[in-house]
Amino acid sequence: MDGIIPLYKEKGMTSFACVSQLRGILKMKRIGHSGTLDPNVEGVLPICLGKATKLVDYLMNSGKIYQGSITLGFDTTTEDLDGEVVSTKDVEKPLSDDEINELLENFVSEDLIQIPPMYSAVKVNGKRLYEYARNGETVERPKRHVQIHYFKQTKESVYDEDKKQQTIFFEVGCGKGTYVRTLAVDFGKKINMPAVMSSLTRIKSGGFNIDETFKLDDIRAAVENNKIDEIVKSIDSVLVDFKHLELNDAQWATVKNGGFLSSDVIDTKDDKCVLTYKHAVKAIYYYDENKQVYKPEKMFSNQ
């Protein structure tokens, strides 16, 4: 089976656990996901099956959209509600909508620098940061360059008079590698206030919206009722934004052996092109400017 399942990862599960369960449900080993979601985060997790595992990089590069909340007034070791409270500070005067909007807008950038949280899977000297954190060790964390396409409020914030905390509700469109937890913490730092990401849902990833997703129980039922084909999306469904070329017999004879194609054959200015033969996706080719030819980047089938 080759294709993509837009999975709804439920809260409390790891992304690895989702893949593990799907291997059992679908009775296949070649399964991968495109972009880890923390256990306390729910939402869209595209799952690649069979030859579609070659699409993971493309799905991760397609951008993501999240909705969630930032709570001002305390921070934690993990930058979300899973960690231990590090410090607290009363929000004596809640931020106005205008103040919130201005602060959010300051994060919009094609090159925002982030320092990943200690409780993250980023590797430093061969060890993941969360391993250092669990051992009580500190280590210099590498800076990451991320893209924030937009960052906006989704509804009016809530001020808790008793706890002296304010919760802000947001939506953010971002590129790969963005830590939304860190956006929440850095938001607080701009006003000298401890902050955490208090909830998060990924509503779009790999081109799939949350209303297109299926839960593990849905997939299990589809297998039992022989309707899994209604859930698995084709490889081409995530390549619709690329230029496509239907190969003739002679061109396919070249491509199936990994041969190059001249720019005269692929008459496009695009960097990449999806090649199909008999209307089935066979490969993705990229343009080599130096040699002015198209070369294979991903081969899905040579048959």
- Largest Cα–Cα distance in the chain? 75
Closest CA to 166 of 73, 256, 58: 73
Which among 2, 38, 75, 80 is annotated as catalytic?
38
38 is catalytic: yes
Write a three-state SS string for the chain.
CCEEEEEEECCCCCHHHHHHHHHHHHCCCCEEECCCCCCCCEEEEEEEEHHHHHHHHHHHCCCEEEEEEEEECEEECCCECCCCEEEECCCCCCCCHHHHHHHHHCCCEEEEEECCCCCCCCEECCEEHHHHHHCCCCCCCCCEEEEEEEEEEEEEEEEECCCCEEEEEEEEEECCCCCHHHHHHHHHHCCCCCEEEEEEEEEEECCEEHHHCECHHHHHHHHHCCCHHHCCECHHHHCCCCEEEECCHHHHHHHCCCCCEECCCCCCCCCEEEEEECCEEEEEEEEECCCCEEEEEEECCCC
Half-sphere exposure of 239 (CA within 13 A, CB side): 26
> What are the tokens at 141?
């964390």
- The CA distance from 187 to 43, in Å, is 23
- The CA distance from 181 to 116, in Å, is 9
Residues designated as active site: 38
